[in-house]
Amino acid sequence: MSIYSSNSSYAANSQAINRQKRSHRSKVGLSHCNGTWHAKQKGIALFQVLLITAVISIMAMQFTQTARNQISIASTIVDRVQAQSELRSAEAELLFSLITEKRQRDIHSNNSYAQNWNFYGKPFGLTQASQSDLASNQSAFSTSQPQETYRFNDDGTRLKNFSLEGRDNVQITMQDQTGLISLYRGNGATKFEELLNSFSTNPRIDTYENSYGNYFENSYGNNYESSNQSGFLNRNAHSQQNAYQQEYSAALLEQLQPSIMANSMVDWQDGDDAERINGAEARFYDTPGMPTNLPLQTYQELRHVRGFNRQMLELLWPYITIRPQGYINPMIAPPRVMGLYMPQDRVDEIVRLRETGQLDQQQFENLSGLEVDETINFVNSGLLRIEIQVSVNQVLLTKQLDIMMQPYDKHPYIVYEIKI
């Protein structure tokens, strides 16, 4: 009995111990599982935080970039408005100067336009005349001294002198069209044909003869990234542009047909249906309204004439005009046009003197051998081709005018054509 009781007690104790061991092992296992689960949860939470941070950062960068773009657009709009305002101001001041000042350069003038302008197609700025300009002018004309000029009304009262200061972000080009070959009514056909032939005999293009490249929507590819602080092409960019123009014109030489272009231009404007040799009348065009048998109304109209195309018009733009002229003034002509009247060495010397402000009528007559007659005169006219450029930061605006100045008329100027 005692032995049995002892064994029963031992068995009960063993079972109790086993239960305790199993309970301990289950608790240890549950605790291990809970630790692993919590570790996994912490890893997922960290990934979510990093992901949300990345998304917020990307959104912040996007907002920042959008804000910068909006600021840049707003700044460009402000610059454009300012450029438009300055362009209108420069145009008004230039027209006022052309009406009130003599159409010749006067470095002693209070007017910055009259101080710097020329009428032979070379771009000029509106800075004050430099001491070197004053010195060269005085050396060329030693008897000239700065003089104050006065103007008077019809009743004898003196007009007030106006002082116009220049802007360093304005560039102007003016060409007196009496220095160009006129195609009006085909009267200049002979000289026009000589001009076309000169591209083969003398293909050189001078540094400023194609100043009006913007006329055909920047056909020469102005590079604004190469511009200086004032927004205009620097010398390197200008040299690259001139090199491109030379290559560009060389490619057109093979397309030039001087006789066909000159005679077709005459047939386009004459009032008859008789076809000139190498010309073109209605039978050639076979299109109603062509030719018009009227004077050219716009320069672009030449594109429809036999032998002409858009590239030809770009090439010829600095040398020809469609406006009527009573005479030609070779003294203010582009060098290529001037070369139709005299040898090239004379042209080079005249251009050199003209660039330094030392050329006068007497010198020109002596060098060129030309004299005033019924077709040649050395007086500047009011028929002008004007280009005004204004730059404000990265905004560059251009306006071109084909205009007739007549200061003493009821209407002081007539605008034939405007291009902005």
Pick the more confident residue, 168 or 366: 366
- Ranking 142-156, 279-293, 346-360, 393-407 by mean pLDDT, the lowest is 142-156
Q: What is residue 51's predicted lDDT score, i.e. its pLDDT?
A: 87
**What six digits make up the tokens of 154?**
């019809």
CB atoms within 10 A of CB 396: 22
- What's the mean pLDDT when you consider all of the chain? 80
- Residue 413, pLDDT score: 94
Say if residues 121 and 329 touch (Cβ distance below 8 Å): no
Eight-class DSSP state of 127: P
Residue 308's pLDDT band (cuts 50, 70, 90): very high
323, pLDDT greater than 60: yes
Residue 419: phi, psi to the nearest 5?
Answer: -135, 125
Buried b (16+ CB within 10 A) or exposed e, 95-123: bebbebbebebbbbbebbbbbbbbbbbbb
pLDDT for 145: 42
Give 339-379 pLDDT, tens digit per residue: 999 999 999 999 999 998 899 999 999 999 999 999 999 99
The answer to pTM > 0.85 is no
Query: How many other β-carbons are positioned within 10 Å of the β-carbon of residue 165?
Result: 10
Give the tens place of pLDDT for each residue, 205-253.
Answer: 554 554 444 444 433 333 333 334 344 444 444 455 555 555 555 677 7
User: What integer pLDDT is reported at residue 27 of this predicted model?
Assistant: 54
pLDDT (average), residues 245-270: 83
